[in-house]
A and B are shown apart, each in its own frame.
Chain A
Amino acid sequence: MTHHDQHGHSQGGVHAHISSTGMYVTIFFVLMICTILTYAVSTIDLGAFNFVVAIGIAVFKASLVILYFMHVKWSQILTKLAVVVAVIFLLILLLLTATDYTSRNWLPDQPGWEKHQVLR
C-alpha cells in the first residue's frame, strides 16, 4: 500500500495512473479543513461576501475532488475538456439568464413601467 504514483501495466492491459494512498488521505484532510473553514466563515457576517467566500471554497473543494479523486490531473486532454465545457455551459445558463433579471429594473420610471417589487 505504499506505492507512489505509478502507471499500471499488464500485458496489453490498460495504461492508467495509480495514485498513492498517502495522496488520497492528504487531499481528504484538505477537504476537511475547507469544510470547517466554510462553516466558520458562515458564522461571521461579511454581508455579500459570505456568498462569495462560501462558493469560492466550494469551488476549490470541487476542484480537488475532480483533479485528484477523479484523476483528471492525469487524464487525457479530452477529459479535461469535458470538465471545462460542462462548467462553461453551466455558466452560460446562469449568466445569460441573469442578464434578464439584473436588468429588469433599469427601465426609466414611467407609468406602465412599474419596477419589479422585491418582495420580502
Chain B
Amino acid sequence: MSATHADSQAGQFVSYLGNGHTWQSWLLTKDHKRIAILYLISITVFFLLGGIFAAAVRLELLTPQSDFMDAETYNKMFTMHGVVMIFFFLIPSIPATIGNFLIPIMVGAKDLAFPKINLLSWYLYMIGGTCGLIAAVTGGVETGWTFYTPYSSTYSNSAVIITAMGAFVAGFSSILTGLNFVVTIHKMRAPGLTWGRLPLFVWAHYATSLIQLLGTPVVAITLVLMMLERAFRIGFFDPALGGDPVLFQHLFLFYSHPAVYIMILPGMGVISEIVTCFSRKHVFGYKFIAGSSLGIAIIGFFVWGHHMFVSGQSVYASLVFAFITQAVAVPSAIKVFNWTATMYKGSVSWDTPMLYALGFIGLFTIGGVTGVVVAMVGVDMHLHDTYFIVAHFHYVMVGGMVLAYLGGLHFWWPKMTGRMYHEIWARVSAVLVFLGFNFTFFPQFLLGYMGMPRRYASYPEEWQVLHILSTAGATVLGIGFLLPAIYLTASALKKHPDAGMNPFGAKGLEWTIPSPPPTENFLEMPVVREEVYAYAETEEKALVGH
C-alpha cells in the first residue's frame, strides 16, 4: 500500500497508513487500525492453512476407501482443520480485524482503552498460531479439535501439548481483546453517544466480549489440566486413574459452546450494519436486536450439555440442556426477522456487501434451524457425530460467519484502505461462494441423515456420488475465497485513494472521517446529535439537542 501525502483528503494530515514506514512503526504500533491490519494479514494466512487441511479432507473423501491417506493421517487433517479454523481464524476474525479497526471510531474515541494491551493481544495470537504451526510440521494432532480425554491425555502419540498450548495462548489474546472492547465501550463513548445510539455492530461486539471474558478462562484451565495429565501421567480425566472423562467435556464445552457465539455474534453485528445501509432504512426493532445479542451471550452459557447427549451424561441433565437450547434459538430468530423487516419497503441495492448479507440470512437460518433439530435428545441420538452435525455447524460458521466476514471486509474495505475494489469481480465471487458453499455442504445433511459418521476416512460405496458433489462444491468455494484475496490486494496496491469518505452513503461515525482515516481518527472530537441509522425521513428521526 503506497501512502504518500496524497492520502490526505483534507490535505492537512497523514493517514494511519502513511504515518511511518519502518517495520518498527508497524510491529510496535499502538494504533488500533494498524493492529487490525496486522491481524488481517495473519488471519488470512491461517485461513489459507485451514483451507489446505480442508482440501486434504475433501480429497480423501472423493473415494470410498481410505486410499489417499491412512486413517491416522486423515484424523490429523480434520483435527488441524478444526483447530486452525476455530482458534486461529474464526474466533479472532471479525473482532480482531474489523472490530479493532472500527470500535474506537464508532464510539468516537482516538483509540481503544488499552492500546498496548491490544498489541499484546496480537503477539499472543501470533505465538499461539506459531505453536499450531509447529504442531502441524512436527507430526500434527489427531485427537479432534475437542481434545477429548483420555485419548488426548493418555493414548494419543501426537503433538497434543504444543497444540493445546497454542489454543491456550490464543485464548488469552481473545480475553484481552474482549477486555479492551468492554472498557472502551463503557468508558470512552463520545458526548451524546448514549447506549441507545450505539451501532448494532458495537452491541454485537460488546456481547461477544462478555463471552470471551467469562468463557475462555475455563477452557484455559481445562487445557492446563489436560496437559498436566498428559505430561505427568496424573489422573484428572483418565478413568484408569480414577478420573472422569465426562468432566473434561463439561469443562471444555462450558467454553466451547459459548465460543460458537463468539464466532457468530460479530457477524450478526456486521449484517445489521450492511442491511440498514443497503436498504436505506432505519433498522427494524433496534432494541430487540441489541437485546438479543445480550440474550444469546447469556443463554449461550446454559446449553453446553447438548454436545454431550451421548457421552454418558445423566439423561436428566440432558433434558435440562435440551430445553434451554430451544430457548437460545429465539434471540437469533428475532434478528433474522428484524433484518428481513428492515428490508421490507426499503430501497434495496445489490452491492457486494449486501449479496453476502443476503446469503448470510438464508444460510444462517438453515444452519440455525438444523441446530434446533439436533437439540432434541431423541433425534441427536441418531445424528450425533454424523455428517448432519458437520453440515449444521458449517452452515452457521461458513454460510454464516465467513460470509459475514467477507461482507464486512467488502463494506469497510474502502474505509480501511481508501481504495475501492473491482465491483464485478466482487459480485462474481460472492455468487461463487454462495453456490460453492451449498454444493459442498447440503449433500452432507443427506449423508448424515443416512448415517455417515463424521471423522471417518472411508464410507460405503453408495454414498460416493454425494461426496463427489461435496468436493466439487468445495473446489468452487475455494475459488470463491481465492478471488477476493486477489482483487482486494490489487485494489490496496493502487497508488492513490479513490474511494472517498462515504462511497456507500452509509450512516455512522466511521463514514464522517477520511478514507483511510488519520491516526487520531477524528480531527475534532465528535459530538453525537443524531439517532443511529438515521436513514429514513421525518418521523423516524429524532434530532436531540437542538
A/B contact in complex, CB under 8 angstroms: yes
List residues of chain A with CB under 8 Å of any chain B CB: 78, 85, 89, 92-93, 96-97, 99-101, 103-104, 106-107, 119
Are B301 and A103 in contact, with the CB atoms below 8 A? no
Are B305 and A100 in contact, with the CB atoms below 8 A? yes
Residue pairs across A and B with Cβ atoms less than 8 A apart, 15 shown, are: A92-B301, A93-B254, A96-B304, A97-B250, A99-B314, A99-B317, A99-B320, A100-B250, A100-B305, A100-B317, A103-B314, A103-B315, A104-B314, A106-B316, A107-B314
How far does the alpha carbon of A85 sit from the alpha carbon of B218 in the complex, in Å? 15
Q: Which residues of chain B (302-316) have a CB below 8 Å from chain A? A: 302, 304-305, 313-316
* Residue with the greatest number of chain B CB neighbours at <10 A, chosen from A92, A97, A100: A100
List residues of chain B with CB under 8 Å of any chain A CB: 186, 214, 218, 242, 246-247, 250-251, 254, 301-302, 304-305, 313-317, 320
The residue on B at minimum CB distance from A98 is B317
How far does the alpha carbon of A101 sit from the alpha carbon of B316 in the complex, in Å? 10
Q: Shortest beta-carbon distance, B320 to chain A, in Å? A: 6
Q: What chain B residues lie within 8 Å of A101 (beta carbons)?
A: 314
Are B302 and A100 in contact, with the CB atoms below 8 A? no
Using A89-B301, A93-B218, A100-B250 as known contacts, say yes or no to A107 and B315 having CB atoms under 8 A apart.
yes
Q: Give the interface SS of chain A, mostly helix, strand, loop or mixed.
A: helix
Q: What chain A residues lie within 8 Å of B316 (beta carbons)?
A: 99, 103, 106
Specify which of B218, B304, B313, B314 is in contact with A106 (CB 8 Å cutoff). B314
Shortest 3 CB-CB contacts between residues of A and residues of B = A100-B317, A103-B316, A103-B314
How far does the alpha carbon of A101 sit from the alpha carbon of B304 in the complex, in Å? 15
The residue on A at minimum CB distance from B244 is A101
Q: Shortest beta-carbon distance, B237 to chain A, in Å? A: 14
Are A96 and B305 in contact, with the CB atoms below 8 A? yes
Q: Shortest beta-carbon distance, B301 to chain A, in Å? A: 6
Using A78-B186, A89-B214 as known contacts, say yes or no to A100 and B301 having CB atoms under 8 A apart.
no
Are A100 and B186 in contact, with the CB atoms below 8 A? no
Q: Shortest beta-carbon distance, B218 to chain A, in Å? A: 7
Q: What chain A residues lie within 8 Å of B317 (beta carbons)?
A: 96, 99-100, 103
Using A104-B314, A106-B316 as known contacts, say yes or no to A92 and B242 having CB atoms under 8 A apart.
no
* Residue with the greatest number of chain A CB neighbours at <10 A, chosen from B214, B218, B304: B214
Q: Shortest beta-carbon distance, B110 to chain A, in Å? A: 19
Q: What chain A residues lie within 8 Å of B218 (beta carbons)?
A: 93
Q: Shortest beta-carbon distance, A90 to chain B, in Å? A: 9
Are A100 and B242 in contact, with the CB atoms below 8 A? no
* Residue with the greatest number of chain B CB neighbours at <10 A, chosen from A78, A89, A119: A89
How far does the alpha carbon of A104 sit from the alpha carbon of B302 in the complex, in Å? 19
The residue on A at minimum CB distance from B304 is A96
Q: Shortest beta-carbon distance, B302 to chain A, in Å? A: 7
Q: What chain B residues lie within 8 Å of A104 (beta carbons)?
A: 314
Question: Besides A96-B302, A100-B246, A100-B250, 5 other CB < 8 A contacts?
Answer: A93-B254, A97-B247, A97-B251, A101-B314, A107-B314
Q: What chain A residues lie within 8 Å of B305 (beta carbons)?
A: 96, 100
How far does the alpha carbon of A27 sit from the alpha carbon of B270 in the complex, in Å? 50
Q: What chain A residues lie within 8 Å of B314 (beta carbons)?
A: 99-101, 103-104, 106-107
